[in-house]
Structure 1
Amino acid sequence: MAIQKIGIPRGLMIYRDGILWKSFFENLGYQSVVSGKSDRQILDEGIQLAIDETCLPFKVYLGHVKELIGKCDAVFAPRMGGFESKERMCTRYQSLPDLVENIFKGTQLQILTVSYDWYDHTKEEKVYMELGLCLGKTKKEVKKAYNLAKKEQESWFKSQEKKQGKILEGTKTKILLAGHPYVLHDGYMGGEIAEILKRMGHEVLYTDYVNRENALKRSYHFSKVMPWIINREMTGAIMLLKDKVDGIVLISAYPCGPDALVNDMLIRKINGIPVLQLTLDAQEGTAGVETRIESFIDIIQYQKAGGYGN
């Protein structure tokens, strides 16, 4: 079957590299079909497909994959092992296309993927070149498509970084949301937390909108042995911004092993600033979360007013 429409599930690393993916395929002449925003129905679909012990973001991701069935000719599910020997990805990413293919066996779902691992010394451009050539495009076409997509991705990221810089110059209460991009920005997870804070009149910043190179370097002051690159970037961003914001909300999705370890370390080592830790699961509604956020903001405002001996 000839491929014309390529589906991109709105989950996991789309919140980091999604612009690159979408632009790459469109530059090659394909139509990109991105699944809709996360909601309870998508989560319920994912829950039916996953085992109970699966983390919430992966359940949401499976729901997005299912939504794309019948709407595209193939689904893009990249495999990411890591970029450097000390900076690896969660095992979900190392097996993602295999997991998706196995879970949706019998649906005739075609999987497109790229695969890069630190131990192969594989570069991002190389794996996208290989994918484009497998799709029947010329080397010149693929290289141009990748370069344009990469430029668009980097331009978008720099714009987010610049926006955060302006927020830091403002006088409103500033709350840093710390977590994995697919938790922070998903509409059914961290996205709702950000909206609660904005409705309360506060500014929201994100750890994944901090310069990644600077964040990685700073993370080694916190830990020299932490293996997970996303947690490294998050930790380094916190270290860079903790003296510039009024409070930090650590957002994790149950049950995330790396977060369970890293967030506990952060709680123990971050001093002088209020920190709220939220662990999200598949329960309905955010009423309890909203109450905790309101109490957290009360603490921040009390401290800013001179409470607790400040």
Structure 2
Amino acid sequence: MRKQRPPYNPKTKTARPATPKTDKEPAQFEIGQPAELMKFLLEKLASKGRNTVKGILSRGQVSVNGKKTTRHDHPLQPGDRVTVQWSVVTEEEKPIGLHILHEDEDLLVINKEAGLLSISGGDEKELTAYWQLTEHVRRKDPKGRIFVVHRLDRDTSGVMLFAKNEKTQQALQNAWQEAVQERSYVALVERKVKKPEDTIVSWLKESKTLLMYSSPVDNGGQKAVTHYKVLQASSDYSLLEVQLETGRKNQIRVHMQDIGHPVVGDKKYGSVKNTIGRLGLHARVIAFEHPSTGQPMRFETQIPGKFLRVFAGKPTS
């Protein structure tokens, strides 16, 4: 009997192995009682054979609660979800301009780089944190969705929260002041700030040109309260730790302009310097109570190196 030749690949002029047939839909199981992963898989995939099951696990085709594992003795608890992909799972492309700090069934916490839009304001197809995270969750669940909890300006970097279901989004947004125990930024501002710490209170109102205006008295706008403390200062710059009591649009940027020390690179609100090539604002810390588990969560990111380099070789206080 003549041996069948593999299909011909005209691009490489070589024989191309036929694509193996695989089941399209992944298998999903919910755990009812404690078990070890390998024993559970051998029971559920008995028709595949022991060696085949071992190969599926070792090649990273098994996920527990959305996280890949190759451990044979991975402990399973009631309520856990096991997913088996029938083909080898390729490494997903890393998101551009963001790093995932934490992910569970309800939340995604990221560190966003300056220059990346949180979410598109129109219909244009632009690279955003929202779009990339939607693609990320849909690799595991085609019906997965992402919900915005709060936003950062395009040119502000730092830690952000996204919900993976509407219930979590509403729980956080409806009780934001109670749920969030700490939310702090670092701001690089122009010139030396004389007061080592202070609180700024004003009312913010948006103009027709989308510019936020600040008033020391109630002008019908939203009350905004910002606390700051000087971390480092020279004659040209000050690095501030900023705590938000309220979260209004452009609040820190407007309040820094109010005290005569605009955020570096913030031409919109009075800055005349852009020595670091970006906006000098970074969301450094967020701490909150997990809306589903009640567990305290805290995420702290590093101060961007560009913020610190402007003080190199200069006397500081």
Scaled by the length of structure 1, the TM-score of the pair is 0.29
Which structure dedicates a bigger proportion of its chain to strand? 2
Greater RCO (Cα-Cα under 8 Å, separation 6 or more): 1
Scaled by the length of structure 2, the TM-score of the pair is 0.29
